[in-house]
Amino acid sequence: MFWIGIIVHWLHVFLAIFWFGGVLFVFAVMTPALKASAPPAALEVGAQMGSRLTKVMAPVGGLTILFGIINAIVFGPVKSLDVLWTSAYGVTVLIAFLVAIGLAVLGARTGQVGMAISTATDAQRPLLLERIGRMNGMAVTGFVVVLICMVLMRFGL
């Protein structure tokens, strides 16, 4: 059981890095590059990348959350729902879980906005790119909150 716990933990960590890194890439590289590109190029590249990001990030985010739940319940101290509000660790797990679910919903919504770019008018595209930029900024903030929770949990809080 020990080795299974290690594997589950590292799958959770790897997928979380992939998920957060993908959001950072979109926020810091992809969105600014698309804003700076000519509209036809931005439309073509943005539509292709948006489609692929949605297909990849949805399962990565879902699996990250799933392995986090398994870590907390099977290999961690969360053995009942009471733990979630009667211990510092449980409250931290609950905050991380709720923020992660919010991030998954935000990611799905961001994907929908990204897909709308392909059918948007020339006047709408810059507004949609701005919206995606704001949504990704919110996602980065959420991931920082989750990362802080992970560090706190490492120290039993």
Distance of CA 41 to the CA centre of its chain: 27
* Six-digit token string for 17: 């890095």
Kindly indicate the confidence band of residue 95, based on its pLDDT and cuts at 50, 70 and 90. very high
pTM above 0.85, yes or no: yes
Task: Specify whether the CB–CB gap between 115 and 54 falls below 8 A.
Answer: yes
Strands (E), the chain: none
Query: pLDDT, tens digit, for every residue of 33-75?
Result: 887 888 778 777 877 787 788 889 999 999 999 999 999 999 9
Kindly indicate the confidence band of residue 154, based on its pLDDT and cuts at 50, 70 and 90. confident
Query: pLDDT, tens digit, for every residue of 1-44?
Result: 889 999 999 999 999 999 999 999 988 988 888 878 887 787 77
Q: Is the pLDDT of residue 156 over 90?
A: no
In this prediction, residues 109-135 reach a mean pLDDT of 84
pLDDT at position 65, please?
Answer: 97
* Six-digit token string for 42: 């931005």
Give dist(CA 65, CA 73) in Å, integer: 12
* Six-digit token string for 48: 């292709």
* Six-digit token string for 124: 């709408």
DSSP state of 37: S
Q: What is the CB neighbour count within 10 angstroms for residue 12?
A: 21
